[in-house]
Each structure stands twice: as C-alpha cells, then as structure tokens.
A = this chain, B = another copy of it.
Amino acid sequence: MEGILTEACSLAGHWGLGKLIVFYDDNHISIDGDTEIAFTEDVSGRFEALGWHTLWVKNGNDGYDEIRKAIQEAKSVTDKPTMIKVTTTIGFGSPNKANSYAVHGAALGTSEVEATRANLGWPYEPFFVPEDVKSHWSRHIPQGAALEADWDAKFAQYEQKYPEDAATLKSIITGELPAGWADALPQYTTESPADATRNLSQQCLNALAKVVPGLIGGSADLASSNMTLLKMFGDFQKDTPEERNVRFGVREHGMGAICNGIALHTPGLIPYCATFFVFTDYMRGAMRISALSEAGVIYVMTHDSIGLGEDGPTHQPIEHLVSFRAMPNMLMFRPADGKETAGAYKLAVLNRKRPSILALSRQKLPHLPGTSIEGVAKGGYTISDNSTDNKPDYIIMSTGSEVEIAVKAAEELTKEGKTVRVVSFVCWELFDEQSDEYKESVLPEAVTARISIEAGSTLGWQKYVGSKGKTIGIDKFGASAPAPKIYKEYGITAENVIAAAKSL
C-alpha cells in the first residue's frame, strides 16, 4: 500500500531489472483486519503496468512444486523484474489464530505454539534441528565452496589479463579508497570567484568521480538545479549500466531507499542523491534508515533556505536543519563556501557508516578568509578573530550562506573598536565530538555575548549561544521574493547582528 513501493518498482520496471524477483505475500490480512477494508486494487495489474512480469502461486502454504516452478519461470524472464503473487494463509498451521490479524502484531503465546506444533506434526523441542533437516541443508556447503573456488580462479585470470580493471573492482568490493583520493578535491582560495555552493558541489562531485570508482548517483528530476550531473559519464539506463548518472525521476523516497541498498550492497559503492533540501520531507523515512543502518549515503540538498527566492514557502526549508541535527548518526553539513564544500565532501566520503547531508545554496557566496577543509573536520571553528586573549567582546556564529553576513557584522563591530570572533558551525555533530579543551578554545565560557545567525529555525542554537546570547533566524514560513529582498524583510542582516551584539 505504501507509495514508496510504486516509486521503486516503477524504476525497477524502467530499468528492466531481470534478476529481481519479488514475492508478494498475498495473505489478505493487515493489522486492521481483512485487507478488503482498504485495499481492493488489482496488485498484479499494477505491477504489469509498471513493466513487470507477474506470476501467481495459488497455494503458497505448502505448494512447494508450484513455488519452485514459479521461481524457475521468473528466472527465465531476463529483461523484466518478476513479481510472484503468493497466496498464503497468515499464521498457517496455527489452529486458532491462522488467517487473522492476531498473528501479525503479537506472539502466538505458549499454548497456541504447542497447538501449532501438534497440528503441523513437529514433535521436536524448541531450537532442535533434526539430523535429516541438517543434512538436507548441509549439501549446500560443498556446492557453495565449489562455486567460490570457480569464482576465485576466474578472478585470478581476470586480474592477470586486466590488472587495472581488477584493481578497480577489488577496491569497490573492499571499500578501500585509492591513495590520495582527497587530493583530487578542488582547491579553492579567497581569490576563487564567488559561486553558489550547489555549483561548487558539482565541481567536487566531478573531481571525486574521477578518482573514486564507486561514486554513483543522481537527482530526483532536478539534476540541472541540484548541479549533480557527472560530466564525464552518461546516464545509467537499461542498456548502459556502466554509466553513473542515475535518473531517479520525481521519486525522493524511492531514491533514498535505492541509495541505501547501493551503500549496503558493497563497501566501495558510494551513492549520492539530490533534491531541494525542503523535499527531504518526502524521503525522511529512507534517510533515517541510512542513519540507523549505517549506510554512508551522501545527500546533496540544494536550495537550502529562503535564499532560493521566488519559489516561495513550499520550497523554502525552515525547520530542516535542526530536524537533522537531532537525528542520531546523521552528519548535517552546511558549508559556507567552496573550501567548506570540499571539506564536507571529504568527510562525507570518509564516513562510510554515517550518512551525510550537504545543505547547499542556490545563491552566490564569496570565498571567505579563514575557512578551510581542515576546519570542517572540527565541525565548528574560528574563521576570524581580532582578539588576543581568547576573550573577544563578541562571538558571532553562523553556517552556510549566513557566514558572509556574520563576517560583515564582525568587520563593522571591529571598526567600532570591538574584538569579535566569527565561528563557522558547519557541522554540529562533529563539533560536539571534539575535546572540552577544543570547545573552550572556540567558545570560551567567559564570553557570554554570543550571537547566532542562520536562515532557519533558531531552535537548538541556544545550546551554543547560551542563556545570555541572542539567536537570529526564522521561526515562521518563508515567502516568495528575490533573495536579497527576503533576507532584508526577514531580518537576516548584518545590521541585525550588530544591533543584537550591542543589546548584550
């Protein structure tokens, strides 16, 4: 019933995944009872419309020959995925609970387990495996060993004949990154031209794709906005599986789930996927599974604030940064320029057991003095400071596109004789993992005059700003207007930072 099924299965049909066989357990029971109360569609018809081959096993309870035959037939169809509808009785064998929702969400209970054992003629103790069952299954051991030996021999030949290709394949299988891969990342300086971090992200992705053979991904029908196309590759399609630009269509939830599958399938495959940051709302379930399953997916999320302009509040994220900062095992990056974007990519690639989100701007941003790839690894770090004693008059902290505003405010306050530190808080999770000494070096306890500025919800910033500080952000929905106008209207300005500082 879940929509993600159609998203993923429509793509499986489009790609003609002939090796894929899906068993659909047609037991007619869901938690609320008979599926008839909410689900009367023609499931096989739906799969056929999605380009699948379908089969129907009418006795899935003990129709073993029928099941074997269906699997054989499914395997013989190699240009389409196959869905085998298998009609079963839920709780088959349980004399009192079979064919009812009571079997779905709760344990059978001791007496019904006993009754089921008796009914099925299973006289053994719990966890006992009879000898004939053991020997029946054990025959797969020598078969498997022979298959593995075959493969190893074949791979040895391949390695001799194509040493470079074999090395690449090995690195994908093991997940070992090629030496010096991070050196391929673009080197930006303060002289680099101002640019949107979404564009700088594309430069990073293209640089990485040249040296990281398992990097593969794409966008949910926003490739030209997310800037995620790999220029040296074509589209991954049915007849071009060697290419690396995946066209997910407008299917965010399916996209995230597919990337989880890629990441968990083989250590050296590094999937990335992209949409507008606000549309993470459509794929949050898959993103949480990345975090929970330790799948190092890279989420390239552009148009990361009201700065996207005219598309208006449906497209402008507000609460999304804090919502992911609170998600366990998720790295939430919001880089301020090219240097930090490259730093975020470096960490995203390194973190194979932690997914990463890169929130990227649509609007142009300058390359700021003080930002660095190394700084990103600390999560939060000082990018400018005219004090000398780790006791500046003010600490202004920010992320992404607002770091530029923080720097401007600091310059003004410095002109007025104040000492000011600017901290880029590009990844809260990494900052929180630093030593207490490091944290004190960035946010000394003695300095309570702290201001945060970020074009998103202020919730959470109190953690760094403290009881006496001020947060500047957006706690209402956005609006449709050109970026400079809406920033001014919503008070995301250097003037407001200066006023907040002076009020402390």
Contact = CB atoms under 8 A, between A and B. Distances in A.
Contact of A475 (B13, B35, B328): B328
Contacts of A14: 38-41
Contacts of A31: 221-225
B323 A41 contact: no
A11 to B, nearest CB: 7
A244 to B, nearest CB: 14
A2 B460 contact: no
Interface stretch (A199-207, A246-254, A335-343): A246-254
A313 B42 CA distance: 34
A322 interface: yes
A285 interface: yes
Contact of A314 (B7, B292, B314, B326): B292
B45 A3 contact: no
Contacts of A460: 322, 326, 459-460, 462
Given A37-B247, A38-B248, A3 B7 contact: yes
Nearest to A475: B328
A32 B2 contact: no
A251 B477 contact: no
Interface string A24-49: 00000011100101111111111011
A145 interface: no
A249 to B, nearest CB: 3
A322 to B, nearest CB: 5
A434 to B, nearest CB: 16
A82 interface: no
Number of copies: 2
A98 interface: no
A121 to B, nearest CB: 30
Contacts of A466: 466-467
Contacts of A457: 326
Nearest to A48: B45
Contacts of A115: none
Contacts of A10: 1, 39, 41
A476 interface: yes
A282 B51 CA distance: 26
Given A323-B326, A459-B460, A250 B2 contact: yes
A235 B248 CA distance: 38
A327 interface: yes
B41 A50 contact: yes
A328 B319 contact: yes
Given A1-B221, A322-B323, 4 more contacts: A38-B248, A42-B49, A318-B326, A467-B468
27 contacts: A1-B249, A2-B7, A2-B282, A3-B6, A14-B39, A14-B41, A31-B224, A32-B224, A38-B249, A41-B49, A41-B50, A41-B51, A46-B46, A253-B282, A281-B284, A284-B284, A292-B477, A318-B326, A319-B328, A322-B326, A323-B323, A323-B326, A326-B457, A328-B476, A329-B477, A459-B463, A460-B462
Interface of A: 1-7, 10-11, 13-14, 30-32, 35, 37-46, 48-51, 105, 219, 221-225, 235, 237, 247-254, 279, 281-282, 284-285, 288-289, 291-292, 313-314, 318-319, 322-323, 325-329, 448, 457, 459-460, 462-463, 466-468, 475-477
